[in-house]
Amino acid sequence: MSETKLSESSEVVIRTNKLTKEFIRDEFHVIALKDVNIEIHRGEFVALMGPSGSGKSTLLHLIAAMDKSTGGEIEVLGENLNRLSDTQIAHWRNVHVGFVFQQFNLIPVLTALENVELPLKLTNLKKAERLEHATTALKLVGLGDRLGHFPRQLSGGQEQRVAIARAIVTDPQLILADEPTGNLDAQSADDVLTMLSRLNKEYSKTVVMVTHDPHAAKFATRVRHLEKGELLPEGVTTTA
């Protein structure tokens, strides 16, 4: 595993080198990401911004190893993701990454507690321990009184908080959020962003969030902009 490392630096959590993602859609050759170089350090809360099609979600998916790059290299938490098998990536993701979706993506037939317990089923924890961890995570997001509720019995904001609890229940070092407030009202969005900020500040989680919303980006410690698949220099914003 050590030979896959690009860097010995423990401070750098995410490092990409000329990361490129191209694909062919119908007869069109699309460059979703082009030669992206970025470093994200431990404890940062980075917002990736840009217009639709700028490649910000593609970059997030590559960081989460949900997709494969077509060029360049990507190292996350010391692992060169291009060299891991599908099974190794699945295990790596379970241990190190928590993912928050725009559309919550809770399993509708499971209660809030069972949804949060789900990632722990891949660990060696016993049932009682899993439930204890899941309960703790739900209490942390303020849903200690909603353990037995199904997703349909929760508001959008509550669903997203369950999703955050699910993302943090394995105590991952890295939390990735793809438009986490996109489907929420202003108050719920603020609650969710405050929660991500708390996780970053109080629990030292590295957070990478994709957002359109400048207000959401204010919760981040650093903002990077993408445009047409290219990462703009630090401090440069998009025109959109």
Partner 1 sequence: MFKNFPLIVKNCWRNRRRTTLTILSIGASLCLLGILMAVYQAFYLSDGAPEQALRLVTRNKVGLAATMPQAYEPKIKALPGVHEVMVANWYGGTYIDDKPEHQFARFATEADKLFTIRPEMKLSDEEKAAFLHDRRGCIIGKELADKLKLKDGDRMTLIGDIYPGNLDFTVRGVYDAPIDNGVFYFDKAYIEEGLPDRRKGNVGIFYVLANTADDVPRIEKAVDAMFANSPQETKTETESAFALSFAAFLGNVKGFLMVVSAAVTFTILLVSANTIAMSVRERIREIGVLKVLGFTNAMVLGIILGEAILISAAGGVIGVFLADLLAAGLRHGPDYMEQLHTLHITTPVAFLCVAVAAFIGLVSAYIPAFQASRIPILSALRNTD
Least distance in angstroms from the C-beta of 187 to partner 1: 26
Kind plus residue range of the DSSP H or E element containing 166: helix 156-168
Least distance in angstroms from the C-beta of 204 to partner 1: 22
Least distance in angstroms from the C-beta of 233 to partner 1: 28
Query: From CA 206, how far away is CA 42, in angstroms rounded?
Result: 6
Least distance in angstroms from the C-beta of 147 to partner 1: 15
Least distance in angstroms from the C-beta of 97 to partner 1: 8
Nearest to 221 by CA among 238, 199, 239: 199
Given the complex with partner 1, which of 206 and 217 has the nearer CB atom?
Answer: 206
> Hey, which bits of the chain come out as E strands?
12-25, 28-41, 45-49, 71-76, 79-80, 97-100, 174-178, 206-211, 222-227, 230-231
Q: Interface residues with partner 1 (CB under 8 A)?
A: 61, 64, 66-67, 86-87, 90-91, 93-95, 99, 101, 105, 107-110, 114, 118-119, 121-122, 166
Pull the structure tokens for residue 216. Answer: 């959401």
Given the complex with partner 1, which of 69 and 223 has the nearer CB atom?
Answer: 69
Given the complex with partner 1, which of 45 and 104 has the nearer CB atom?
Answer: 104
Exposure string of 90-126, with b = 16+ CB inside 10 Å and e = fewer, is: eebbbebbbbbbbebebeeeebbbbbbbbbbeeeebe
One-letter identity of residue 83: R
Given the complex with partner 1, which of 86 and 145 has the nearer CB atom?
Answer: 86
Query: From CA 8, how far away is CA 12, in angstroms rounded?
Result: 9
Given the complex with partner 1, which of 114 and 227 has the nearer CB atom?
Answer: 114
Given the complex with partner 1, which of 87 and 187 has the nearer CB atom?
Answer: 87
Least distance in angstroms from the C-beta of 6 to partner 1: 24
Kind plus residue range of the DSSP H or E element containing 137: helix 127-140
